[in-house]
Amino acid sequence: MGFTVIELLIVLGIMTIITSGTFFLYSGFLENRYLIDEANKIASVLRNAQVRAASGENNQNWGLHFVNNDISPNYQLFYGSSFASGTVVSTVYLSSRLQFSDPALGFTKDIIFIQTTGKPIAADSVTIQLVSKTESAKTISVNSLGVVSSASVVVTTGPAPTVTSASPTSRGRGAQSQSIMITGTGFASGALASFSGLGITTNSTIFNSATQVTADITITESATTGTRNVIVTNADAQFGTCTACFTVNVGPTTISANPASLQQGTSAQNVVITGTGYASGAFASFSGDGITVNNTTFQSATQVTANVSITAGASATARDIKVTNSTDAGAGTGTGIFTVGAGVTYETSGGGANASGGGSCVASTPWTDTEVCVMVSLGTPIGSQPSKLRSNSFDSNISSFTAQ
């Protein structure tokens, strides 16, 4: 008994449908298998970090550093008090079929186990999901006792957000804690802002409404200049991008200071600061304690003058000087270009009418009314002259005086 042409076509059609269905079922199975395997792998590496920390390996904490970027999301096993100061042991890149939803795109997260106890510094979790089916996800969590677990979660997705603008549209290199208002649509509570490229850190994101979030950002002084994309990612991992909506401007540089040092107890002294890229309204600041900048005078694009006062108790150390432009908050730092010197201690001794007595100097002959004992700081070169030394009948500005 033979088959007609029509019957053969029907059979072939049925076989095609069955084959296609089997393929799609198998394809979906494979993707879910990738998700499950990766979640198990992350949980395994977390437990490995915990065991190493608990055993005191390298006498350090151990942890994982999770990086979610749009190029190569990955997680890194490291040891050290933090990832920034630690040593990376290995790096694992996610399959192209997978992505992180926590941490959000453009952000990182650390889960660190404490040396000897093996407990985490803080309970935390990460979530991975299928790129093709973002509602399929797994969360790997570590509780406060250090128990590592993996569970499936269903992510409810809504419309992807859009990003249309940022204000202000630019900031200078070196800008610190700048508020950037980002406008768009479809923002949800918990949305996070990020910027493409290197050198911009989003310190925090405040959700204002479905059309606006505010990002607090810091730009390094070495950040690449030029345009950046602005990205807002909702908690469901959907994101919107505004291409070239923000620009990193060239910031100022700070090169030198004159004088390069002043002593403790100095009051209202001018320090001329030289660099590049200064704008009218630029202001100077000094690192460390005990230095007050009374005012900053803009001289030119390469020079500003800071009038400073230094307390008697200021630390006698090298200081950084930062000059910040008021136009775009760009800042340039001169590292260690200014020094606070130890103030000279003056003591008088002897029985003359001008002597205060009680000093630790020992005179080989009786003190006269015009003699003063000066206690200078250890290391003061022989032959040097204090900037100012006075008694009732002695002024070092007009009389010869040298350290013996």
pLDDT in tens, 108-134: 999 999 999 999 999 999 999 888 887
Report d(CA 221, CA 232) in Å as an integer.
24
Please say if the pLDDT value at position 394 is more than 50.
no
| Predicted model pTM | 0.58
User: Is the CATH code 3.40.50.1110 the one for domain 5-154?
Assistant: no
Q: Where are the domains of the chain?
A: 5-154, 166-249, 253-341, 344-404
Matching fold, domains 166-249 and 253-341: yes
Q: What pLDDT is stored for residue 238 in this prediction?
A: 84
The dihedral through the CA atoms of 80, 83, 84, 90 has a sign that is positive
| Residue 95, both tokens | 């399959």
Helix (H) or strand (E) holding 394: strand 394-395
CATH homologous superfamily of domain 166-249? Answer: Immunoglobulins (2.60.40.10)
Please say if the pLDDT value at position 160 is more than 90.
no
Please say if the pLDDT value at position 66 is more than 80.
yes
Please say if the pLDDT value at position 285 is more than 50.
yes
Contacts by residues 38-44 (CB-CB < 8 Å, ≥ 24 positions apart) = 38/94, 38/95, 38/98, 38/128, 38/138, 39/128, 39/138, 39/140, 39/150, 40/150, 41/92, 42/75, 42/126, 42/128, 42/140, 42/150, 43/140, 43/148, 43/149, 43/150
Report d(CA 134, CA 143) in Å as an integer.
25
Which amino acid, residue 18? I
Reported as a single tens digit per residue, the pLDDT across 130-156 is 888 877 889 999 999 999 988 876 555
Q: What pLDDT is stored for residue 364 in this prediction?
A: 47
Among the CATH numbers 1.20.140.10, 2.60.40.10, 3.90.550.10, 3.30.465.10, which is that of 253-341? 2.60.40.10
CA 289 to chain centre: 22
Q: Are 360 and 399 in contact (CB under 8 A)?
A: no
> Alpha helices, DSSP H only, in 248-366?
none
